[in-house]
Amino acid sequence: MTRARLNRLVAARSATTALVFVAAAAVVDAAPARAGTYDVVACDAAPGSANNSWRPLTNDAQMAAYAACPSGGDRRRGLVTRNAVGAGGASVGPGAVAQYAFFAPAGTGIVGLLASYRFYHAASNWEGALSDGTQVIRGCPAGTGACDVSSAGEWIPLTGQGVIYIDAYCAYGSCPTSSTGDAGHDYLQATANLYSATVRLEDDSAPGIANARGGLWSDGWHSGGQDYAFDSSDNAGVRET
């Protein structure tokens, strides 16, 4: 509920009438309001290094996805997806994945990502990458040799995707999970780490205002304090009225 107070600044009733009219018109004529773009932050980019927007998923006990925020500048932390280091000869089958996914709210599209990241794989049948489920956007796609790609902060333009992922993903064949013997990469076969993320969303769906009510909306002369209220709605939520 929004409250407006009308003060009689002058004695003339005509001046008071104008003030009522302008106040009402300012709300009723809120269209063509639109959200435009807005940012959603996570991990090092967020106050308190919180993550309330990226969702973890694993489908195999030898895969792991977890948040270790803030990173303290350690690119092995953040939003982490990786294989779990198994005994010699351990492996997972094709389709095994650990991922963090960002889903755009209905009616919005992802138009950019400011990211601090690290992507790595040791074996070619692993993927460690940022993707949209169709193509790798940054990182280490399957089918390449040993790969390590990182950035302390990169703006990545996107094209209105509905979802983006970071993932450690077994793309084909039998993917090893046993130790690589490489302490510099924590003995892992594949990892994708996002330790700061600012997702930019484009929202071209206009918010709606309905059911205006209260003393301010009735006919006649008014003075003193007057209430008005209305219902507001938006596909992605209302931040400010």
- For residues 7 and 170, the model is more confident at 170
- The pLDDT-based confidence of 34 (bands split at 50, 70, 90) is low
pTM to 2 decimal places? 0.74
- The pLDDT-based confidence of 231 (bands split at 50, 70, 90) is confident
Q: What percent of the chain has pLDDT over 70?
A: 81
Among 120-129, 191-200, 215-224, the least confident range = 215-224
Three-state SS annotation for 136-204: EEEEECCCCCCEEEEEEEEEEEEEEECEEEEEEEECCCCEECECCCCHHHCCCCEEEEEEEEEEEEEEC
Is the model's pLDDT at 235 over the cut of 70?
no
225-227 and 91-92 as β-strands: parallel, antiparallel, unpaired? unpaired
Is the model's pLDDT at 232 over the cut of 70?
yes
- Give residue 31's pLDDT: 45
- For residues 39 and 218, the model is more confident at 39
CA distances from 6 to 2, 12, 20, 219 (A): 13, 14, 8, 15
Q: What percent of the chain has pLDDT over 90?
A: 66
Over residues 89-119, the pLDDT tens digits come to 999 999 999 999 999 999 899 999 999 999 9
Give the span between the Cα atoms of 57 and 104, in whole angstroms.
17
43: left (phi over 0), alpha (psi -120 to 50) or beta: left
Over residues 56-78, the pLDDT tens digits come to 999 999 999 999 999 998 999 99
Residue with tokens 């990173």: 71
